[in-house]
A and B are shown apart, each in its own frame.
Chain A
């Protein structure tokens, strides 16, 4: 079945450090890929997405490139801020016969210290 594997957290960084959160997937067909972010006490928000191979999604300084050859969609940011502290979820969406279905990873907690 379809699945998403993302690096286990928690990840703790100092402000202005470089961030990478790894995400790999297994899917039938051609999935769309997403990163969602959940700030403390809030619901999930879409951070970025890519719908086909080699697409790069970007938002708020975060980037991820859809790599079909390695089935990966790693999240990166060059310089993190304290306000980036949150849980990050990698997800894929495939068409399952009659409808689309989002499958999420377990989430990675990021803490950025000043």
Chain B
């Protein structure tokens, strides 16, 4: 596979469930990102990892817990979510977390519904 892949593509969970979203990049990049895309709102950056270290955490509730075991994989662990957490969760990667000309490549997203 090439590019950025995400699994599952769709997830329905109850508020008491624990689930994990997975992202994998096959581009040899060193930075990975989690974004939340809600209807009629701008994309919200949640977390950034650079060389497997978390470098950004945008005031995200603790019910979202990221994990980056290596530069190719990024997880988002979910527990005791709320219905307002229903959204499309997008993963992205870039060569480095230096911005400028480092384009971010996005995965297709996981559509999450919290009942």
Contact = CB atoms under 8 A, between A and B. Distances in A.
Chain A contact residues: over half helix, strand or loop, or mixed? Answer: strand
Given A43-B4, A51-B101, A102-B45, 5 more contacts: A36-B106, A43-B6, A44-B92, A49-B103, A100-B100
A99 B107 contact: no
A89 to B, nearest CB: 7
Interface string A69-107: 000000000000000000001000101000111111111
7 contacts: A49-B103, A100-B99, A101-B56, A101-B99, A102-B104, A103-B42, A104-B42
Interface residues of B, number: 25
B27 interface: no
A44 B90 contact: yes
Do most interface residues of chain B lie in helix, strand or loop, or is the interface mixed?
A: loop
Interface string B20-41: 0000000000000000000011
B40 A106 contact: yes
Most chain B CB inside 10 Å of its own CB: which residue of A32, A41, A43, A93? A43
A99 B90 contact: no
A93 B99 contact: yes
A46 interface: yes
A101 B45 contact: yes
A114 to B, nearest CB: 26
A91 to B, nearest CB: 8
A46 B99 contact: no
B90 A43 contact: yes
